Chains A and B, each alone.
Chain A
């Protein structure tokens, strides 16, 4: 099947340039320099229509940045985002707008992600009205319909966001995204800030919407059990790079990359509640100054000399399955 969205060698760098004082200090021999963070480092990923891809990694690994690049909030420093085979950044005019609206994002913080000064009807209705997706007369009904779709009572549409609970606010955020008829949703830790009981409801809502509207998801999470539950395939990120991609079942049965294996081993499970956990050695290195070669080598139990110098490619193991480790075959 033709992919709906392709992430093609996308990098995102954040550079802090020196101000005048910094440049003067540098001239005088102080050890200040421009700092560049490689938040996302040449990541490629292909997503088929209707698929749910889980993007998993520790905090600071660049998964949220990648999500924001996909959603068009950040522009990529290098690489392309292709929607239906077309580079979104190269489009102009109406096509560009259609592509922008086709990819929407659900945010982590249901409090910061809604404008506190707007009523719910404006939060949901603004974009469709501005883009002329509905006429002014039909807007009210359209907002009602969108609210019902995400399980909100349209009678509450005159309220402000702060008058809702966390779960309801997340539904408002989902309604806002759905109102522009997207085909692809980037969910950035969309349930992480919710109570566990509410998490299940919101996940079910996502899955219902997928069936009803034929949505495709990039589901960013650090919670392996959630990803195992809903994702068709999983990509594991470590320090700006994807280290392993695989269909969900295959990944959870037989992880190939040492980092994936360590992550899975540490996920709490009911049947292992008595065992002692052995955390991955060390800290995640600073993305300001990543280690050479394989980024994981300072923490990896299988480090060899080659790991310290050569960057492992994301090798295909079987179709749909890749691992970026020099020694994936031995494990």
Chain B
């Protein structure tokens, strides 16, 4: 018995909300907790990059070409230590990685959120409208999902050209279908439940039933898909940037950094590619671990 129960004889009835229960179950897993902590740390580092990093790697006044290709731990001309070394242009890699994370995360989250909203709207429409409209929408989804996401993104970039907006657009087009399929499947299950019939019986409007009754009950799988899809958007963006058709040099994401260092790999200057690569790996793996665990916790069939 814990101390709390001994010292507090009159405790008010504890009302455990679904969220509290979910939180408790989530933090039972140490790996997921560590992964979540890593994500929070990465986000904070990215957000506060200008105050943390010793230099702004894209302010030419702060970059000295004399510092080029220094090994990790070397001292820069300006006096600070480059713990992760520098790249060919003399940029401090630690600073470059944090600035790159900002762009990678922003692109991943922005495309994830837009794709989620779009897919959710389309999926709900399909589930609720039914009939021919549903058939058309879901066949489009099938068609979309039968192409690899990277191929769809490649084709779009080839048509639209480079640039951060076009990358986000390409990622949205490559990913909305996952959300649409997930939402439709869940919404179809939910709308057959008796609480939806009860809402119809109470004379509530269709809009109200969809958004207040069905949608909140579809969110759990959507959050899981969303988490995993943000990770895959980040790595897809890195892939495109690495291939040189993603973001331009002026908006260097992690993928651009890896691509820049690639040519030095064979000459022993491993750090220029490896450290941005590790940052990308850590980010994507952490998000995926959290996503996987979210799926386990939110899946009612795995409930203890």
Residue pairs across A and B with Cβ atoms less than 8 A apart, 20 shown, are: A72-B201, A100-B201, A100-B203, A104-B202, A105-B201, A107-B194, A109-B194, A112-B193, A112-B194, A113-B193, A115-B213, A116-B195, A116-B217, A117-B216, A117-B217, A126-B202, A127-B204, A163-B15, A176-B202, A177-B201
Residues of A within 8 A of B202 (CB): 101, 104, 126-127, 176, 180
How does the 8 Å CB contact mask read for B180-216 relative to A, with 1 for contact and 0 for none? 0000000000000111011111111000100011001
A162–B135 alpha-carbon span in the complex (Å): 35
Question: A83-136: which residues lie under 8 A (CB-CB) from chain B?
Answer: 97, 100-101, 103-105, 107-109, 112-117, 126-127, 130-131
Question: B3-29: which residues lie under 8 A (CB-CB) from chain A?
Answer: 15-18
Q: Would you call B204 and A160 a contact (CB within 8 A)? A: no
A173–B195 alpha-carbon span in the complex (Å): 9
Given A117-B217, A130-B204, A180-B202, the answer on whether A73 and B197 have CB atoms closer than 8 Å is yes
Does chain B have a CB within 8 A of A71? yes
Residues of B within 8 A of A115 (CB): 195, 199, 213, 216-217
Given A19-B135, A112-B194, A130-B208, the answer on whether A104 and B201 have CB atoms closer than 8 Å is yes
Residues of B within 8 A of A100 (CB): 201, 203
Does chain B have a CB within 8 A of A158? yes
Q: How large is the interface on B (under 10, 10 to 19, 20 to 34, 35 or more residues)?
A: 20 to 34
7 further A-B pairs in the complex, CB-CB below 8 A; given A113-B197, A113-B198: A100-B203, A115-B216, A117-B18, A117-B216, A126-B202, A160-B18, A177-B198
Question: B58-74: which residues lie under 8 A (CB-CB) from chain A?
Answer: none
A contacts, CB < 8 Å to B: 19-20, 68, 71-73, 97, 100-101, 103-105, 107-109, 112-117, 126-127, 130-131, 158-160, 162-163, 173, 176-177, 180
Q: How many residue pairs, one in A and one in B, have C-beta atoms under 8 Å apart?
A: 69
Residues of A within 8 A of B201 (CB): 71-73, 100, 103-105, 177
A173–B201 alpha-carbon span in the complex (Å): 12
Q: Would you call A101 and B213 a contact (CB within 8 A)? A: no
Q: Would you call B198 and A101 a contact (CB within 8 A)? A: no
Residues of B within 8 A of A109 (CB): 194
Given A159-B15, A163-B16, the answer on whether A112 and B203 have CB atoms closer than 8 Å is no
The chain A residue sitting closest to B18, CB to CB, is: A160
Given A115-B213, A115-B217, A117-B217, the answer on whether A131 and B203 have CB atoms closer than 8 Å is yes
Residues of B within 8 A of A103 (CB): 201
How does the 8 Å CB contact mask read for B24-53 relative to A, with 1 for contact and 0 for none? 000000000000000000000000000000
